[in-house]
Amino acid sequence: MRKLTATDLDNVVAFSIVPFRNHEVDFNAHSKNINYLTQHSSLDVGRKRIIALGGSSLVHHLTSEDQLRLAEVTGEQLGYNAWFISGILPTPPLQVARLVRKQMRLSRPPDAFLLLPPMGCYNPEGVYLEIKRLCQALGDELDARFILYLRDKSLRDVYCRLAAQCESIVGIKIGTSEVDVRPVREFLQESKAVVWGIGDISTKAAQLGTRGHTSGTGLLAIRLSDLINNAQRKKDFTLAFKLEQNLREFEDIRFMAQRAYNYSAVVTALNMAGFTDVNPGDGGPFNAPPPAEVCERLKIVVQQLSTYHNADT
């Protein structure tokens, strides 16, 4: 199969929440959600969807065994009808390497690994050395591909160096602010992808040089995410701004209070909507439902966005 490239990342990277039932991963529900994202697409020129697992999927709260099983179920469900990006914690390094090797041995391995932000105590040069060692070794050994998730501004220049120097790194996901888009884009030119990583409100970043954006709202309104990306690719930023206004209230809720409801707002909205083609579960660990006043706002959001749930409505 053809390898994922920087050009392919000029797309909607749809992050699927991982559904939990009584604090355990509901793999059948997850398979159903992946099927929904694979089957519904309004992307132009026949582009394949990108489906990803990451921090908002709660991989931080999964055992290595469950992460492996999740990658296996995802790959089996989507086959090669969509690209697959597997989010993975970069620490501890030996565990990361083992998990990448195991996922790459699956019958349908991930097309790339999103290296989530490091946790704990670190410094930029230490991050540079560890990630360079990891990406070069696994790139040479397994032909694995990586995307770096920038959430710490102090790592911006380090990540630019890494992306420029390591062939196995195909791009950077910007999760800081629009201020970092232009310098990263100018440093990498067009050789590597620079993807907006703070939701569907992405058009300002696209004007500054990002190509593609991540979406955590796909299970609710995937058609709207697709239409925003289509407009941005055509440089029709007026239309893109108009479309993304439909998602502004939902995104404001998800990213309020340092992203406190990034996961639980999506679960709550989907349960309110009552769609039969997706299953959000009953809530994940460390993610209590939003307070009553936020839920009242979500009721209005669901009414506004439900028409964008399917590609053919």
The full set of domain ranges for the chain reads: 7-308
Q: Give the separation between CA 183 and CA 54, rounded to whole angstroms.
A: 25
Which pLDDT value is given to residue 126? 98
Counting Cα atoms < 13 Å in the Cβ hemisphere of 269 gives 30
Q: Give the separation between CA 237 and CA 86, rounded to whole angstroms.
A: 30
* Alpha-carbon distances of 194 from 53, 91, 198, 305, rounded to whole Å: 18, 23, 13, 28
- Please report where in the chains the tokens 């993610």 appear, as a residue: 287
Residue 185 confidence (pLDDT) above 70: yes
My answer on whether omega of the bond before 285 falls inside 30° of 0, hence cis, is: no
Fold of 7-308: TIM Barrel (3.20.20)
Is pTM beyond 0.85? Reply is yes
DSSP letter for 22, please: T
Mean pLDDT of 92-102: 95
Mean pLDDT of 11-26: 96
Q: Give the separation between CA 198 and CA 28, rounded to whole angstroms.
A: 28
Where b means 16+ CB within 10 Å and e means fewer, 138-165 reads bbeebebbbbbbbebeebbebbbebbee
Residue 36 confidence (pLDDT) above 80: yes
Asked whether 12 and 308 are in contact (CB, 8 A), the reply is: no
Counting Cα atoms < 13 Å in the Cβ hemisphere of 78 gives 29
Which pLDDT value is given to residue 310? 86
